[in-house]
Structure 1
Amino acid sequence: MARVLILSSVVAMGHVGLSAGQPVCQLLGVEVTGVPTIVLSNHPAWRHVAGTAVAPERITDMVGALEANGWLAGHAGVLVGYMPGVGHVEAAVGLVERMRAAAPGVRVVVDPILGDHPKGLYVKENVAEAVRDRLVPLADMVTPNLFELGWLTGRDCADLAGAREAAAALGVPVVHVTSPPLGEAETGVLSVSETGAELYRSAKEWDVPHGIGDVFAALIAAGLPVGQALGHVAALAEVSRGCDHLAIVESAARWTGAAPITSERV
């Protein structure tokens, strides 16, 4: 069985961060080692929220214990997600270094969770800068949304050509841009690598709970092809419309069987 390590946020109620990626991967037969960066009652968009960040040194201690037990070896992928502070970014850098030493060839995916349109950054600017300068250069793949791609590169991503050029300028072998500029009715993924660019289109669903981007990043870290990962994500978004939280468990029979989405060269 494949195994991935996810370093991200944990919520007691709902499905975001690690609490989204872990159940989705497990339902698809991929085991997950989960290390939390922050533990909250729920996503902060709700009226009431409580919790606290995990101290960076505790994260380093947990990773050290996993390493000492011989449990870092054998991972096929590692996903670095939400970072509450600069110290967490440094802990994540250490994790990536340890993972590559213990599991040569491990797939390193960074989901630069920094912000979105129209609110802009929802992490502190020094955290976003640390993610850009310290984590992104370590990645084999990154999964930014359109706002994050523009912020990381300082480029205009208003159309597909601009987004493609920005992704190529990021300096990462593979960039999967979620929410590419496709208009009001469509969304999908723009995948850019040294071999070119592929566009995967899916219908845009409205009133979908938080966590869809976390699911996609986790599936990429698990090694799913982009089209198959997006097929699962699109089906999950459709069945979760109007729900408080993603319907990961109750609708598993529907989204786990989703067909892959085909791509076009752009």
Structure 2
Amino acid sequence: MKSIISIQSHVVYGHAGNSSAVFPMQRMGLEVWPIHTVQFSNHTQYQQGWTGQKFGSDDIRSLMRGLDNIEKLSECGAVLSGYQGSADQCRAVAEAVSLVKDRNHSALYVCDPVMGDPDKGCIVEDGVKEAIRQNLLPIADVIIPNQFELSELTGVKIDSIYDAVTACKKALDLGPKMVLVKHLHALTDGAFSMILAMPKACYLAQRPSIDFDLQPVGVGDLISAIFTSCLVKNMSPVTSFRHAHNAVYGVLEITKDYGTWELQTINAQYEFVEPTHEFNIVKIA
């Protein structure tokens, strides 16, 4: 059985970071080895605040040495990274990817370059954006930014689907083989839009937007997890894109039915395996 190392944040209550990503990947039949960059009581959108701590970058290095010591890294099919609490954590992730690829040359590295969004702006510590661009982007097989993060990485202002494709092509020139834009908010037609870009083709997926009083947190982490799992299970990129798009819509629909903003990851778990909705994927370039 192939395994995935997931290096990102963790919350005790709710679903964000590894708390959003680990169970769906397990439910899809994969072993997941989580490494937490931070551990908080709850995600940071709660008005009451949160408690917890950030882990040091050497914790990542130490855990990777331990896995290597028991000779398990050859079983790792992918490294998935999300929120990083410092620039040196980004460098530790790069070292982890190098070690895994040395032990298994076919392993993938999927980078979710968590930096923020248009409403909150950049939410990471000073130096993290630069470290993602310098240390992680060039070695990634796949990157999964939102529109804000794609603009931050490429310097391309995105106001249209043409701009988005231009930014994706520029990102591909920087190293990755695939770019999945997990939320393209520039298209204001009442739909939620995602793009998958590869060197020879780009695809657009759209589904109805679901209105929440407070937007659920961890949706991007869920998209990254499901897409990574599909790739590790040897689905084609386009099939993986379609599966992730459909599954996440089902999870959000069920979350809405429960009247909460915390993703209903457990109640909607069948969506990860067999999504109940099917939306068209359109080739756009």
Range class of TM-score, shorter chain? over 0.9
Distance of 1:160 and 1:123 partners within structure 2: 27
- Alignment partner of 1:252 is 2:257: no
- Structure 1: which amino acid aligns with 2:179? V
Superposition TM-score, scaled by structure 1 size: 0.95
**Counterpart of 1:100?**
101
Report the secondary structure of 1:118's partner residue. coil
Contact 1:76 1:107 in 2 (8 A): yes
2:24–2:272 contact (8 Å) kept in structure 1? no
Identity of aligned residues (%): 24
Residue 37 of structure 1 deviates from its aligned partner by 0.6
Instruction: Indicate the residue corresponding to 1:231 in structure 2.
Output: 246
Answering whether residue 201 of structure 2 is matched by residue 196 of structure 1, we say yes
The corresponding residue for 1:133 is: 134
Matching residue's letter, 2:95: G
Deviation track 1:110-138 (CA, whole Å, cap 9, x = no partner) reads 00000101221011241111111111111
Distance, in Å, in 1 between the alignment partners of 2:78 and 2:278 is 21
Q: Counterparts in 2 of 1:29-108, with a 5 A limit?
A: 29-46=29-46, 47-108=48-109
- Once superposed, which parts of structure 1, at least 4 consecutive aligned residues long, lie more than 4 Å away? none
* Aligned ranges 1:6-17 → 2 under 5 Å: 6-17=6-17
- Mean Cα displacement is larger for which, 226-235 or 237-246? 237-246
Answer yes or no: is the 8 Å Cα contact 2:147–2:183 preserved in 1: yes
* Amino acid paired to 1:221: T
Q: CA deviation at 1:153?
A: 0.8
How far apart, in 2, do the equivalents of 1:186 and 1:77 lie?
A: 31
Equivalent position of 2:181 in the other structure: 177
Query: Are the equivalent residues in 1 in contact too, given 2:250–2:268 (CA < 8 A)?
Result: no
1 CA distance for matches of 2:148 and 2:129?
12
User: How far, CA to CA, are the matches of 2:43 and 2:198 in structure 1?
Assistant: 33
Q: Equivalent residue for 2:224? A: 217
Shift of 1:182: 2.3
With over 3 angstroms needed to count, the CA separation of the structure-2 counterparts of 1:254 and 1:152, relative to structure 1, is closer
- Structure 1, unmatched stretches of 5+, are none
**1:65-93 C-alpha deviation (Å, 9 max, x unpaired):** 01111121112211011100011011101
- Residue 168 of structure 2 corresponds to which residue in structure 1? 167
Q: Distance in 1 between matches of 2:189 and 2:201?
A: 25
Q: Which moved more, 1:248-257 or 1:104-113?
A: 248-257
- Tell me the TM-score normalised to structure 2 length: 0.89
Distance in structure 1 (CA, Å) of the matches to 2:44 and 2:189: 26
Distance in 2 (CA, whole Å) between partners of 1:125 and 1:114 is 11
| C-alpha displacement of 1:195 | 1.2
The residue type equivalent to 1:175 in the other structure is V
Q: Which runs of 5+ in 2 are unaligned?
A: none
Q: Secondary structure at the match of 1:76?
A: strand
The count of corresponding residues between Structure 1 and Structure 2 is 266
SS in 1 for 2:124: coil
**Contact 2:226 / 2:272 at 8 angstroms: preserved in 1?**
no
Stretch deviating more after TM superposition (239-248 or 37-46): 239-248
Question: What's 1:25 paired with?
Answer: 25
Structure 1 window deviating more from structure 2 (247-256 vs 182-191): it is 247-256
What is the RMSD computed on CA atoms of the aligned residues? 1.4
Deviates more, 1:68-77 or 1:85-94: 68-77
Deviation readout 1:214-240 (Å, 9 max, x if unpaired): 011112222151101111111111111
